[in-house]
Amino acid sequence: MTPTLHTLAPTPDPDAVLAALGEVLDPELALDILSLGLVYAVQIAGEAVAVEMTLTTPGCPLHGSIAAAVEGRLARVEGVDAVTVTVVWDPPWTPAAMSDAARHALGFS
Amino acid sequence: MIPQAAGPGDPPTALPLAALLLGTLALAAGASALALHPALLASAAPTPAFLALTHVVTLLYVALLFAGTLQQLLPVLLVTRLAWPRLGSFALPALVAGSAAVVGGFALGFEPHLLAVGGTLVTLALAATALQALRTLAGASRRDAAARGLVTATAYLALTVALGFLLAATPHLPALARALGYPVSLHLTVGLYGAFLLGIAAAGQRLLAMFALAKETRAYRLRILTGLVHAAVVAELLTALARLPLHGAATGLLAAAGALQLWEVAALLRVRIRRRLEPPVQRYLLAHAFLPLAGALVLAGRPGGAGIALLLGFVVLAASGMQAKIASFLTWQTRYAARGAGGGAPLLRDMLLPGFEPLTTFGLAAGAAAAALAASLRSEPFAAVAGVLLAIGAWAQLVQTVAILFGRHGAHAGRTAAPLAPKEQA
């Protein structure tokens, strides 16, 4: 009798999740959302990834597009089955959240 | 075909994009007409052809851009849904048809039927747009000074065309003429300052903050600016209806409003994070140099030149700068958002033809300065130079708009800065 093999879905690699987030760009600023400090928290629970993020300004016209891009990109990460993106305004984004490279890219140092 | 994509219940994005395209085409046609007939700008008194040309700019370019982009800009600024989202499908075509009839009515020497039909259509279209803006504001939770200013500017735009309609009717209705006189100053104040200055100040406060990554400044300047414009309109109203000598007071109030706008823009620039601003944003900023120029021309006793500096310099230049940004935003949303930011989509700046931005800025800015001088000095040579320069700028802007809407934009690949780790990872 051949035993039935049950393969558990692999838990997503946190580094792969972060790398995927680093590929989502703000098309206006040409910087990724991690460098801009827009991602407040990432929670990986089994195959589900929840992202809490913000945007540089409330009412940004790219609100829906960037959130959808995060969902779409994370859904392609191996082991990810469900993605939840929550855009929050509290705490508001501040320039202090940007990486040095992002500051340099914007001409602000 | 103009890009269009929107969720259910959202206004179609094709409408503002069509408004941007048609408006720019009208501006290019108007500038070309001035290049061919420079005497229009240098005549001592406004001729019907001059009025036709100014209404190409005010109605078919600025008002159309304003009403079109409002369909997308207002819900963004108010963080809410647009009321009556399908209204634009009727109001914008009516605005275009009515404006064309008004321009034709002037061009044919005050042809009364065209002016009546056109004036009615434009008034109804902009009144409906103003009601839509008010209804949207009423349903929004965020009603800050910028949002209120934008809605107020929309109401003033409707009032401007209603006043213009009355002005056009006075030669045919003696009783109306006796009651109203010929309140050109009121029409100009409500239009140039109530609709355009206030609209640019209100939308600009939010858009400049967004494009320059500036934290929004305190709202008191915009509130005072709005109050000054209201007071100036009341002063002009009392001048027109009660024959009170308040025109000078209105001019002073408007000068103060212009100074506040300069102060607000300077304050936003001081707190910006993005040091290198893109060419369309630079053009928007350059527009503000025409505010002090207009003030200087008023002080020099050249109100005609001041009006041209305000309209072609400040209003058109500011509108054309924001137009390039808004067109690329809307086109990106409709054509590329589904690919995901970074996943094969271009950057917004890559959607612009780089060589055409300096050409647009130079043509429109130098043309506006030459036009203000031509109107001040009644100089036909200056008017000819102005026409050519404005035509260069306007056609460059048209090419840019077509490239944004219909061009093939290459995908951007890869990240551009080293990432930071998120604050918390569980």
- For position A44, which CATH number holds? 3.30.300.130
Nearest chain B Cα distance for residue A2, angstroms: 39
Q: Which residues of B touch A45 (CB under 8 A)?
A: 426
Please tell me which residue of chain B has the smallest CA distance to A48.
B426
How far is it, in rounded angstroms, from Cα A54 to Cα A34?
A: 11
Q: Is B425 helix (H, G, I), strand (E, B) or coil?
A: strand
Q: Which residues of A touch B336 (CB under 8 A)?
A: 27
Pairing of strands B424-425, A39-45: parallel
How far is it, in rounded angstroms, from Cα A64 to Cα B79?
A: 12
Tell me, yes or no, whether A46 lies in a domain.
Answer: yes
How far is it, in rounded angstroms, from Cα B320 to Cα B344?
A: 28
pLDDT value at residue B426: 37
Q: Do B275 and A73 touch (CB under 8 A)?
A: no
Global pTM reads 0.89
Tell me, yes or no, whether A70 lies in a domain.
Answer: yes
Residues 3-22 in A contacting B (C-alpha not used; CB under 8 Å):
14, 18, 21-22
Nearest chain B Cα distance for residue A7, angstroms: 24
Tell me, yes or no, whether A89 lies in a domain.
Answer: yes
How far is it, in rounded angstroms, from Cα B121 to Cα B210?
A: 35
With the C-alpha atoms ordered B313, B315, B321, B324, is the resulting torsion angle positive or negative? negative
- By C-alpha distance, which of B228, B309, B332 is closest to A28? B332
Alpha carbon distance, N-terminus to C-terminus of chain A: 68
Q: Dihedral of the CA atoms B113, B114, B116, B120 (nearest 10)?
A: 140
Nearest chain B Cα distance for residue A42, angstroms: 5
- Number of CB atoms found within 10 A of residue A14's CB: 13
Q: Do B329 and A62 touch (CB under 8 A)?
A: yes
What are phi and psi for residue B3, nearest 5 degrees? -60, 140
What parts of chain B have a pLDDT lower than 50? 415, 417-426
How far is it, in rounded angstroms, from Cα B183 to Cα B76?
A: 36
Nearest chain B Cα distance for residue A6, angstroms: 27
Alpha-carbon distance values, B337 to A67, B5, B68, B240, B326 (Å): 10, 10, 21, 51, 15
Q: Which residues of A touch B415 (CB under 8 A)?
A: 22-23, 25, 32, 35
How far is it, in rounded angstroms, from Cα B343 to Cα B351?
A: 16
pLDDT value at residue A4: 58
Pairing of strands A82-87, A48-53: parallel
- By C-alpha distance, which of A73, A24, A25, A22 is closest to A49? A73
pLDDT value at residue A13: 87
Q: Which residues touch A55 (CB under 8 Å, ≥6 apart)?
A: A38, A62, A63, A66, A87, A93
Q: Do A106 and B216 touch (CB under 8 A)?
A: no
Residues 43-82 in A contacting B (C-alpha not used; CB under 8 Å):
43-45, 56-62, 64-66, 68-69, 72-73
In total, how many domains does chain A have? 1
| Six-digit token string for B175 | 């009783």
pLDDT value at residue B305: 95
Go through A74-104 and write b for each residue having 16 or more CB atoms within 10 A of its CB, e for each that does not. beebeebeebebebeeeeebebebbbebbbe
Tell me, yes or no, whether A8 lies in a domain.
Answer: no
Tell me, yes or no, whether A3 lies in a domain.
Answer: no
Across the interface, of A99, A100, A106, the residue whose CB is closest to B273 is A106
Q: Which helix (H) or strand (E) holds B54?
A: helix B48-55
Please tell me which residue of chain A has the smallest CA distance to B349.
A28
Q: Do B342 and A73 touch (CB under 8 A)?
A: yes
A32 part of contact set with chain B, CB < 8 Å: yes
A87 part of contact set with chain B, CB < 8 Å: no
How far is it, in rounded angstroms, from Cα B257 to Cα B250?
A: 10
pLDDT value at residue B425: 41
Q: Do B78 and A14 touch (CB under 8 A)?
A: no
Across the interface, of B76, B332, B417, the residue whose CB is closest to A31 is B417
Nearest chain B Cα distance for residue A24, angstroms: 5
pLDDT value at residue B422: 45
Q: What is the mean pLDDT of chain A?
A: 84
Q: Which residues of B touch A34 (CB under 8 A)?
A: 419-422
Tell me, yes or no, whether A5 lies in a domain.
Answer: no
Q: Do A25 and B422 touch (CB under 8 A)?
A: no
pLDDT value at residue B2: 56
**What domain range is A30 assigned to?**
14-104
Across the interface, of A69, A99, A100, the residue whose CB is closest to B342 is A69
Q: Which residues touch B65 (CB under 8 Å, ≥6 apart)?
A: B19, B20, B23, B319, B323
Tell me, yes or no, whether A64 lies in a domain.
Answer: yes
Alpha carbon B376 to chain centroid, angstroms: 23
Across the interface, of A66, A100, A107, the residue whose CB is closest to B276 is A107
Summarize the confidence of residues A55-70 as an average pLDDT: 79
Q: Do A29 and B415 touch (CB under 8 A)?
A: no
| Six-digit token string for B309 | 């500096």
What are phi and psi for residue A105, nearest 5 degrees? -65, -30
Q: Which residues of B touch A77 (CB under 8 A)?
A: none
Across the interface, of A18, A32, A104, the residue whose CB is closest to B342 is A32
Q: Do B422 and A41 touch (CB under 8 A)?
A: yes
Tell me, yes or no, whether A79 lies in a domain.
Answer: yes
- By C-alpha distance, which of B139, B142, B6, B126 is closest to B83? B139
pLDDT value at residue B400: 97
Q: Is B157 helix (H, G, I), strand (E, B) or coil?
A: helix
Q: Which helix (H) or strand (E) holds B181?
A: none
